[in-house]
Structure 1
Amino acid sequence: MNKTLLWMTGTICSFTLMAVAGRELGNLNTFQILFFRSLLGLIVISLIIFSINKQQYFKTTQFKGHILRNLFHFLGQYGWFVGLATLPLAQVFAIEFTVPFWTAIIASIFLKERLNSSKIIAIIVAFIGVLFIVKPSVTHIDNASLIVLAAAVFYACAHSTTKMLSKNNHALTILFYMCLIQLPLGGVLMLSHWTAPNLVEWGWIGVVSLAALTAHFCMTKAMLTSTVTTVVTLDFMRLPLVAIVAFLLYQEPFGLLSIFGTVLIFCAMLLNFKTPKVNR
C-alpha cells in the first residue's frame, strides 16, 4: 500500500474522532479544551519518548520554527473547535478544505513546490465536490463560518511549517513541542472562562488529546513521503467520512448531492495519485 495513503488514513480517522469529541465538548470553553489537549498530550508524548529511550527527541535546533508553527496551529485549532460547537460538522470540514488552496500558494512560494496541472485539477475537482456536499449560500455566511475560514488559512501556514520542520525533526519531537508551546497559551487564555468538566466530558477530553496526537503523528509521517499539496489534497477524504458520521450520530442530512460530491472527491484523490512522488 502506498505509504502516503496509509498515513493519511490514520490522519483522517483521527481527525474525524476528534471532531465528534469536540462536538460533545460544546459546553466547555474552547481554550479549556486546547489546554487539556496539550497537557495530556505532553504527558503521553514524554512517556513514549522515555519508554523508547530516545531522549534526543526532546532536543531541537529549530525552536523558532516550532514557535511559529504552533502559533499558527493554535489559532487554527481555536477556530476549528468554535466551528464544531456552532456549525454542522460537514460544513466545518468543507470550509476547512479551502486549506489546499492556501497551502498550495504558501508551499509554492516558501518551499518551492511546483504546482503541476494534475494537482491543480485535483484540487479544483475536490473543491467542487465540497460545494455539492454543503450547498453553500451567501445568505448563510455567519461569524462562525468566517472564523473557520480564518482557521483554514492558519492551518495552511502550519502545514507548510510542518513540512519544513519534518526534514530535521522526528515526528515525536514535533508533537512534543506542539504540546509544550501550546500548553501555556491555552492555560492563560482559559483562566477567565473556567468550567469544571464532568466525568463524561473528561472522557471526551481524553479522546481529543489522544486523537490529536495520532492525527499529527500520521500527518507528519505522510509529509515525509510526499509533497504538502498532495497530503492536503488527500485530506479531502475526511469530508465524506465526517458527513456519514454526522448523519448517523446527529441526523445531519446527507442526500444525493452529497453522494455526488463524495464521488467527485474520490475522483480527485485518484487523479492526485497519478502525480509523481517525492523521493527521499
Structure 2
Amino acid sequence: MLFSTLAFAVMNGLVKYLIDFSAYELVFFRSLGTLILTMVFLLYKKIPILGNKRSLLVTRGIAGAVSLILFFLSLKYLPVGTAVVLRYLSPVFAAIFAVIWLKEKIRPIQWLFFLLAFSGVLVMKGFDNDLSLIGLVLIFSSALVMGIVFVTISKIGKQDHPIVIINYFMAIGTLLGGVLALNDWRTPQGNEWIILSSLGVVGFVGQLFMTKAFQIASTNQVAPLKYLEVIFTVLIGAFWFMETYTIWAILGMVMVIAGLLLNIFYKSRKVS
C-alpha cells in the first residue's frame, strides 16, 4: 500500500506538471498507457476480456472516466493536495448510493463522521478566500461520480477479474478522453512524450500494488493506509510546485481525513 499510494501521488504530481495540456488529453494518455498493460496481462493469462457483468462494467468505466476528467480539470484551479483530499469524500457519496441502490444501512454515528468530513470542507472554503469555487464544484462532482464507481464495483463483486474491471475503465477513458481532446489537442514535444507515457505506467503500478495489498491483508488494515496518498501529494505540491496551505486549509484537511478514517475504523470494528 505504501508503494501504491506513492505511485498515485507521483501520478498526481505529473498531471499537475502537465497542466498546460487539456484534462481530456491527459486522461487519454493516462488511460492508454494502462490499457496497453492490462490488455497484455489479460491476453497472457487468457482471461476473457469482455467479462461477465458487461452492463455494470461499462457503467463503472464511464463513471470512472468522467470522475478522472473532473479530477484533472480541478487541478487547474486547486492545489494538488487539496484536490486529492476532497476527492476522498467519494466514500461518503458511495455510502449514500449504497443505501439507495444496495439497500445498505448507515448507522447514526457514521452520519456524524460524514458530517465531520463535510465540515472540514466548509472550514477550508469558509476561511480560505483563495480556494476556487469552480475547483470545488469540479472536485465535488468527481467525488460524487467516484461514489457511483465504488457501488458499481460492489455490485460486480467477484464475478469479474479485477484487471477486467480496470481494463473497461481504461478502454472507455482512452475513447472518451481521445474524442474530447480532438478540439484542443496539443502535440507533445521532446520529453513530454516520456512524461505523458509514464502516466499510465505509474497509474497501473498504483492499482496493481493496491490490489495486492487488499489481497494479502484485511481491509481494515489496508484501507486507512490509502490516505498516505494525501500526505505524499501534499508534500509533492509543497516542494515541487511551491504550493502553500493556510492553517485553515490544513485544519479542514485533517477534519476530512479524520471523519473518513473514523468511519473506516467503525466499520472494521463492527465486522470483527
Same fold (TM > 0.5): yes
Are positions 1:165 and 2:156 aligned together? yes
Aligned counterparts, 1:117-196, within 5 A:
117=108, 119-128=110-119, 136-137=127-128, 140-196=131-187
Are positions 1:15 and 2:1 aligned together? no
Cα 1:109/1:190, change in 2 over 3 Å = same
Q: Which residue of 2 aligns with 1:273?
A: 265
Which secondary structure state, in structure 2, belongs to the residue aligned with residue 77 of structure 1? helix
Q: Which residue of 2 aligns with 1:75?
A: 66
Structure 1, unmatched stretches of 5+, are 1-5
CA distance in 2, matches of 1:111, 1:84: 32
CA distance in 1, matches of 2:81, 2:121: 9
Aligned counterparts, 1:22-41, within 5 A:
22-41=15-34
Cα 1:86/1:133, change in 2 over 3 Å = closer
Listed one character per residue, the Cα deviations across residues 205-244 of structure 1 (whole Å, up to 9, x for unaligned) are: 13321232234445566778659xx95x765553333222
TM-score by length of 2: 0.81
Aligned AA (1:273): F
Q: How many Å apart are 1:122 and its aligned residue?
A: 3.9
The number of residues matched between the two structures is 267
Cα 1:107/1:214, change in 2 over 3 Å = farther
Q: How many Å apart are 1:26 and its aligned residue?
A: 0.9
Cα 1:246/1:134, change in 2 over 3 Å = farther
Greater CA drift, 128-137 or 146-155: 128-137
* Contact kept in structure 2, 1:38 and 1:209, CA below 8 Å: yes
Cα 1:153/1:268, change in 2 over 3 Å = closer
* Contact kept in structure 2, 1:175 and 1:217, CA below 8 Å: no
Are positions 1:101 and 2:95 aligned together? no
Structure 2, unmatched stretches of 5+, are none
Q: How many Å apart are 1:137 and its aligned residue?
A: 4.8
CA distance in 2, matches of 1:15, 1:21: 10
Greater CA drift, 81-90 or 139-148: 139-148
RMSD: 3.3
Q: How many Å apart are 1:19 and its aligned residue?
A: 1.0
Q: How many Å apart are 1:113 and its aligned residue?
A: 3.1
Q: How many Å apart are 1:11 and its aligned residue?
A: 4.5
Cα 1:204/1:77, change in 2 over 3 Å = same
